[in-house]
Structure 1
Amino acid sequence: MKLPAPLFPGHLVKRYKRFLADIVLDTGEEITAHCANPGSMTGIAPEGARVWVSNSASKTRKLPYSWELVEITEFGRPVMVAINTNNPNRIAFEAIDQGVIPELAGYDTHRREVKYGEKSRIDILLHKEGKPDCYVEVKNVHLLRRADGLAEFTDSVTARGLKHLRELTGMVADGHRAVMLFIIQRGDCLALAPAEDLDPAYAAGLRDAVAAGVETLVWDCEITTQEIVLRRNLPLKL
């Protein structure tokens, strides 16, 4: 997935009210950027961190700048993290379309935001005549609290995420495929586990969904100031 060009470097002053970030650009200009991330952003929004923002030409936007990337040092290792939680759906769709994910290859049509379940929309629906439809729910991951490289999901309580697990389980019961695709928007993780202490209900729901036949895939990303692409498949530890 190509990032908007050009990106403008600076340093984070603070992130606040979830969707706002004060940043000082390298030019000296002080801006408030939109932060497309409703989560807690634990560990990835330290004051003074090196960041990159994009600038929209839209005249209707209140905040023309959007925070895209942050460089942090985690457990002594520098790492680039993409903070926009809208990215994973685009990354996943492009990767599936290009045949990057073997488990999701071999389908004729790939559709986004298709209605299903109880007033929900599946992120990606894969279809091929003669095969069960494949419902793919994409989740963003960037929480890392351990030096052993174990990423965790989620970073806050997600009733919506639990609802998705139950609806995917229903798709399996109806004879379809259902896949949870976790995309880690950083490159320093070795595996993924549910964040049991932050959302025990989701952790239990994920184990129940897997036991019921919901498939899981975990991929990390290669991130530069030009693009974000899937890099490698990682294990899920339940």
Structure 2
Amino acid sequence: MLNMKKIITILCLFTLVFSTLLYTSANSETKSYNGYTAEDLKSNSESLYTSLSSFTEEEIEQYIKSADTITSQAVQSWADVKDEIGEFVAFGDFAVEESENVITTKLLIDYTQKDITLTVVFDENLTVLSILMEKENSLIEKMSKAGLNTLMGMGTVFAILIFITFLISLFKYIRIWEERGKSKNENLKIEVEKTQPAVKEEVLNEEVDDLELVAVIAAAIASATNTSVDGFVVRSIKRRDKK
């Protein structure tokens, strides 16, 4: 069974946020967040961390399954990092960011193996919207990630340049294809021009042959009928198939 004192503490932290704080005073030169100072917010984050880090495995499992969404998210994020960070050393830097009616606090927590950051997001009335614990990457990890991103970016740029170069190299083949097409069109035009006079000549020869044939036929008919060629007209000539 869960410890009742821890249950009451975590519920107060999540629902009332700062109702358990012992002080809320701030002088006129200190920025106020709905009546609370940055120091108040820092104390709240430290208390929240203390509550989360004190949970047993049984309590963590129970909260993940039965608590509300915000609580479940917070406990789950702690469960994800707690076995990889080593031993607690001290609380580190604290920062408050405010934008568009949202207040975000970040508390750095130093550990022997890997530091973590506790992030709490509030609305303008300081109602908790989310709680999250994340591992902080070391300088080497950050540099490795940045180097990897740089290599990926450069690789993408070089790949695009190579592709563009390949496309440009195809332009010479396009010019060759165009020249071949023009050459074929010119050759076809020359062949057509060469064949046209021969066709005209054949037609002209056929017309001359027909006229001569008409004259011969007309003369034969006139001779057989003892008439003049002016008395009849040859309208058509049908050639007989040699077959």
Taking structure 2 as the reference length, what is the TM-score of the superposition? Answer: 0.21
Greater strand percent: which structure? Answer: 1
Q: TM-score, normalised by structure 1?
A: 0.21
